[in-house]
Structure 1
Amino acid sequence: MTFVILACALPQYKLWWPLFVILFYILAPIPTLIARRHSEASSSSSAMEGAIFITMFIVISSFALPIVLARAPSADPTIHWGACYLTLAGNVFIYITMIIFFLTIDQEDGDYSS
Protein backbone atom coordinates (compact mmCIF):
# COMPACT_ATOMS: atom_id res chain seq x y z
CA MET A 1 0.00 0.00 0.00
CA THR A 2 2.95 2.30 0.59
CA PHE A 3 3.83 2.30 -3.10
CA VAL A 4 0.27 3.17 -4.10
CA ILE A 5 0.10 5.99 -1.56
CA LEU A 6 3.48 7.28 -2.75
CA ALA A 7 2.20 7.20 -6.33
CA CYS A 8 -0.52 9.60 -5.25
CA ALA A 9 1.12 11.77 -2.63
CA LEU A 10 4.58 12.61 -3.96
CA PRO A 11 4.78 16.30 -4.88
CA GLN A 12 5.70 15.71 -8.52
CA TYR A 13 2.60 13.55 -9.11
CA LYS A 14 -0.13 15.17 -6.93
CA LEU A 15 -2.96 13.07 -8.40
CA TRP A 16 -5.07 10.53 -6.58
CA TRP A 17 -6.14 8.39 -9.55
CA PRO A 18 -3.87 5.45 -8.64
CA LEU A 19 -5.95 4.87 -5.50
CA PHE A 20 -8.64 3.30 -7.67
CA VAL A 21 -6.60 0.08 -7.71
CA ILE A 22 -7.63 -0.41 -4.07
CA LEU A 23 -11.06 -1.35 -5.43
CA PHE A 24 -9.39 -4.20 -7.32
CA TYR A 25 -7.54 -5.29 -4.16
CA ILE A 26 -10.89 -5.60 -2.40
CA LEU A 27 -12.65 -7.37 -5.29
CA ALA A 28 -9.86 -9.85 -6.20
CA PRO A 29 -10.27 -12.42 -3.40
CA ILE A 30 -14.09 -12.34 -3.31
CA PRO A 31 -14.78 -14.81 -6.20
CA THR A 32 -12.29 -17.31 -4.79
CA LEU A 33 -13.76 -17.08 -1.30
CA ILE A 34 -17.29 -17.56 -2.63
CA ALA A 35 -16.25 -20.51 -4.83
CA ARG A 36 -14.35 -22.13 -1.97
CA ARG A 37 -17.46 -21.98 0.21
CA HIS A 38 -19.57 -23.33 -2.66
CA SER A 39 -17.11 -26.15 -3.40
CA GLU A 40 -17.20 -27.24 0.25
CA ALA A 41 -20.95 -27.76 -0.08
CA SER A 42 -20.73 -29.63 -3.40
CA SER A 43 -18.10 -31.63 -5.25
CA SER A 44 -18.23 -29.46 -8.38
CA SER A 45 -14.96 -27.90 -9.51
CA SER A 46 -16.49 -25.70 -12.21
CA ALA A 47 -17.32 -23.02 -9.66
CA MET A 48 -13.66 -22.80 -8.66
CA GLU A 49 -12.56 -22.59 -12.31
CA GLY A 50 -15.00 -19.75 -12.94
CA ALA A 51 -13.84 -17.97 -9.82
CA ILE A 52 -10.21 -18.24 -10.89
CA PHE A 53 -11.14 -16.77 -14.29
CA ILE A 54 -12.94 -13.83 -12.69
CA THR A 55 -10.11 -13.30 -10.21
CA MET A 56 -7.53 -13.25 -13.01
CA PHE A 57 -9.65 -10.71 -14.89
CA ILE A 58 -9.65 -8.47 -11.81
CA VAL A 59 -5.90 -8.88 -11.27
CA ILE A 60 -5.08 -8.09 -14.91
CA SER A 61 -7.40 -5.07 -14.75
CA SER A 62 -5.54 -3.75 -11.72
CA PHE A 63 -2.30 -3.87 -13.70
CA ALA A 64 -3.90 -2.39 -16.82
CA LEU A 65 -5.59 0.59 -15.14
CA PRO A 66 -2.41 2.54 -14.26
CA ILE A 67 -0.91 1.81 -17.68
CA VAL A 68 -4.03 3.06 -19.45
CA LEU A 69 -4.14 6.17 -17.24
CA ALA A 70 -0.46 6.90 -17.96
CA ARG A 71 -0.95 6.47 -21.71
CA ALA A 72 -4.12 8.60 -21.87
CA PRO A 73 -3.76 11.09 -24.72
CA SER A 74 -3.83 14.63 -23.37
CA ALA A 75 -1.51 17.58 -22.89
CA ASP A 76 -1.22 16.77 -19.19
CA PRO A 77 -1.19 13.00 -18.52
CA THR A 78 -3.80 11.59 -16.18
CA ILE A 79 -1.00 10.04 -14.11
CA HIS A 80 2.74 10.23 -14.67
CA TRP A 81 4.80 7.19 -15.56
CA GLY A 82 6.57 7.30 -12.20
CA ALA A 83 3.21 7.00 -10.45
CA CYS A 84 2.32 4.17 -12.81
CA TYR A 85 5.49 2.27 -11.91
CA LEU A 86 4.90 2.78 -8.19
CA THR A 87 1.34 1.51 -8.55
CA LEU A 88 2.50 -1.55 -10.49
CA ALA A 89 5.09 -2.29 -7.80
CA GLY A 90 2.37 -1.99 -5.17
CA ASN A 91 0.22 -4.40 -7.18
CA VAL A 92 2.99 -6.98 -7.24
CA PHE A 93 3.48 -6.85 -3.47
CA ILE A 94 -0.25 -6.91 -2.68
CA TYR A 95 -0.94 -9.91 -4.91
CA ILE A 96 2.10 -11.82 -3.66
CA THR A 97 0.79 -11.24 -0.14
CA MET A 98 -2.66 -12.52 -1.16
CA ILE A 99 -1.16 -15.64 -2.75
CA ILE A 100 0.88 -16.38 0.36
CA PHE A 101 -2.22 -15.86 2.51
CA PHE A 102 -4.33 -18.29 0.48
CA LEU A 103 -1.55 -20.88 0.34
CA THR A 104 -1.13 -20.66 4.10
CA ILE A 105 -4.87 -21.02 4.70
CA ASP A 106 -5.05 -24.07 2.39
CA GLN A 107 -2.30 -25.98 4.16
CA GLU A 108 -3.30 -28.75 6.47
CA ASP A 109 -2.19 -28.61 10.07
CA GLY A 110 1.35 -29.91 10.05
CA ASP A 111 3.46 -31.53 12.70
CA TYR A 112 2.39 -28.97 15.25
CA SER A 113 -1.08 -30.46 15.74
CA SER A 114 0.08 -33.71 17.30
Structure 2
Amino acid sequence: MAGIKALVALSFSGALGLTLLLLGCALQSFGQYWPMFVLIFYILSPLPNLIAKRHADDTESSNACRELAYFLTTGIVVSAYGLPIVLARTTVIKWGACGLVMGGNSVIFLTILGFFLTFGRGDDFSWEQW
Protein backbone atom coordinates (compact mmCIF):
# COMPACT_ATOMS: atom_id res chain seq x y z
CA MET A 1 0.00 0.00 0.00
CA ALA A 2 2.93 2.33 0.61
CA GLY A 3 3.99 1.89 -3.02
CA ILE A 4 0.59 3.06 -4.26
CA LYS A 5 0.68 6.15 -2.06
CA ALA A 6 4.17 6.98 -3.27
CA LEU A 7 3.12 6.53 -6.89
CA VAL A 8 0.10 8.80 -6.43
CA ALA A 9 2.23 11.47 -4.73
CA LEU A 10 4.85 11.29 -7.46
CA SER A 11 2.25 11.57 -10.22
CA PHE A 12 0.64 14.56 -8.50
CA SER A 13 3.97 16.34 -8.14
CA GLY A 14 4.85 15.57 -11.77
CA ALA A 15 1.55 17.05 -12.90
CA LEU A 16 2.17 20.13 -10.76
CA GLY A 17 5.62 20.62 -12.29
CA LEU A 18 4.31 20.29 -15.84
CA THR A 19 1.50 22.72 -15.00
CA LEU A 20 4.05 25.31 -13.88
CA LEU A 21 6.01 24.78 -17.09
CA LEU A 22 2.89 25.19 -19.24
CA LEU A 23 1.85 28.30 -17.32
CA GLY A 24 5.27 29.79 -18.01
CA CYS A 25 4.66 29.23 -21.71
CA ALA A 26 0.95 29.71 -22.30
CA LEU A 27 -0.12 32.65 -20.17
CA GLN A 28 -1.21 35.53 -22.33
CA SER A 29 1.34 37.94 -20.88
CA PHE A 30 4.22 35.54 -21.68
CA GLY A 31 3.10 33.87 -24.92
CA GLN A 32 6.39 32.22 -25.91
CA TYR A 33 6.80 28.48 -26.11
CA TRP A 34 10.62 28.41 -26.12
CA PRO A 35 10.81 27.16 -22.50
CA MET A 36 9.20 23.90 -23.61
CA PHE A 37 12.66 22.78 -24.72
CA VAL A 38 13.38 21.86 -21.09
CA LEU A 39 11.23 18.77 -21.72
CA ILE A 40 14.27 17.36 -23.51
CA PHE A 41 16.25 17.69 -20.28
CA TYR A 42 13.47 15.97 -18.31
CA ILE A 43 13.74 12.98 -20.65
CA LEU A 44 17.54 12.92 -20.68
CA SER A 45 18.15 13.32 -16.93
CA PRO A 46 17.40 9.76 -15.74
CA LEU A 47 19.15 8.06 -18.68
CA PRO A 48 22.77 8.13 -17.38
CA ASN A 49 21.74 6.62 -14.05
CA LEU A 50 19.66 3.94 -15.73
CA ILE A 51 22.56 2.99 -18.00
CA ALA A 52 25.03 3.00 -15.11
CA LYS A 53 22.70 0.85 -13.05
CA ARG A 54 22.76 -1.79 -15.80
CA HIS A 55 26.52 -1.72 -16.31
CA ALA A 56 27.85 -0.98 -12.82
CA ASP A 57 29.07 -3.65 -10.45
CA ASP A 58 26.98 -3.44 -7.27
CA THR A 59 29.67 -4.93 -5.04
CA GLU A 60 31.87 -1.84 -5.20
CA SER A 61 30.95 1.20 -3.13
CA SER A 62 32.11 3.62 -5.82
CA ASN A 63 33.07 3.01 -9.41
CA ALA A 64 33.85 5.09 -12.46
CA CYS A 65 30.66 4.21 -14.32
CA ARG A 66 28.41 5.38 -11.51
CA GLU A 67 30.46 8.54 -10.92
CA LEU A 68 30.32 9.41 -14.63
CA ALA A 69 26.55 8.94 -14.56
CA TYR A 70 26.26 11.32 -11.60
CA PHE A 71 28.43 13.85 -13.43
CA LEU A 72 26.38 13.65 -16.65
CA THR A 73 23.10 13.88 -14.73
CA THR A 74 24.36 16.96 -12.91
CA GLY A 75 25.29 18.57 -16.23
CA ILE A 76 21.83 17.87 -17.64
CA VAL A 77 20.07 19.29 -14.58
CA VAL A 78 22.24 22.43 -14.55
CA SER A 79 21.53 22.90 -18.27
CA ALA A 80 17.80 22.66 -17.60
CA TYR A 81 18.11 25.50 -15.07
CA GLY A 82 20.41 27.50 -17.34
CA LEU A 83 18.22 27.46 -20.45
CA PRO A 84 15.39 29.65 -19.04
CA ILE A 85 17.92 32.08 -17.58
CA VAL A 86 19.68 32.45 -20.93
CA LEU A 87 16.36 32.88 -22.70
CA ALA A 88 15.31 35.56 -20.20
CA ARG A 89 18.64 37.39 -20.41
CA THR A 90 18.36 37.60 -24.20
CA THR A 91 14.74 38.85 -23.85
CA VAL A 92 13.31 35.90 -25.75
CA ILE A 93 11.05 35.20 -22.75
CA LYS A 94 10.04 37.36 -19.80
CA TRP A 95 11.45 36.96 -16.30
CA GLY A 96 8.06 35.86 -14.95
CA ALA A 97 8.03 32.96 -17.38
CA CYS A 98 11.59 32.16 -16.34
CA GLY A 99 10.49 31.98 -12.70
CA LEU A 100 7.60 29.66 -13.50
CA VAL A 101 9.82 27.39 -15.58
CA MET A 102 12.44 27.30 -12.80
CA GLY A 103 9.75 26.35 -10.29
CA GLY A 104 8.54 23.63 -12.65
CA ASN A 105 12.12 22.40 -13.04
CA SER A 106 12.51 22.11 -9.28
CA VAL A 107 9.29 20.15 -8.88
CA ILE A 108 9.99 17.81 -11.81
CA PHE A 109 13.56 17.04 -10.81
CA LEU A 110 12.51 16.40 -7.20
CA THR A 111 9.85 14.06 -8.61
CA ILE A 112 12.46 12.18 -10.64
CA LEU A 113 14.70 11.95 -7.57
CA GLY A 114 11.78 10.74 -5.48
CA PHE A 115 11.00 8.07 -8.04
CA PHE A 116 14.55 6.75 -7.98
CA LEU A 117 14.65 6.80 -4.18
CA THR A 118 11.28 5.06 -3.85
CA PHE A 119 11.37 2.51 -6.65
CA GLY A 120 15.05 2.33 -7.57
CA ARG A 121 16.33 0.15 -4.75
CA GLY A 122 14.97 -3.09 -6.14
CA ASP A 123 15.50 -5.11 -2.96
CA ASP A 124 12.05 -5.15 -1.37
CA PHE A 125 9.76 -3.85 -4.11
CA SER A 126 8.49 -5.76 -7.08
CA TRP A 127 6.05 -4.72 -9.75
CA GLU A 128 4.13 -7.98 -9.38
CA GLN A 129 2.50 -6.62 -6.20
CA TRP A 130 0.19 -4.51 -8.35
Q: Distance in 1 between matches of 2:58 and 2:86?
A: 40
Q: Which residue of 2 aligns with 1:59?
A: 77
Structure 2 residue ranges without an equivalent (≥5)? 1-17
Q: Which residue of 2 aligns with 1:30?
A: 47
Matches within 5 A, 1:31-110: 31-40=48-57, 45-72=63-90, 77-107=91-121, 108-109=123-124
Cα drift, residue 40 of structure 1: 4.8
> Matched residue pairs, number?
107
Q: Distance in 2 between matches of 1:13 and 1:104?
A: 36
RMSD: 2.0
Q: Which residue of 1 aligns with 2:30?
A: 13
Larger relative contact order (Cα-Cα within 8 Å, sequence gap ≥ 6): 2
Q: Structure 1 counterpart of 2:68, which letter? A: G
Q: TM-score, normalised by structure 2?
A: 0.76
Which string of whole-angstrom CA distances, capped at 9 and with x for unpartnered residues, describes residues 82-107 of structure 1?
00000000000001001110001234
Q: Distance in 2 between matches of 1:39 and 1:91?
A: 28
Which string of whole-angstrom CA distances, capped at 9 and with x for unpartnered residues, describes residues 60-97 of structure 1?
0000000011001xxxx200000000000000000100
Q: Identity of counterpart residues, as a percentage?
A: 47
Q: Distance in 1 between matches of 2:63 and 2:116?
A: 17
Q: TM-score, normalised by structure 1?
A: 0.87
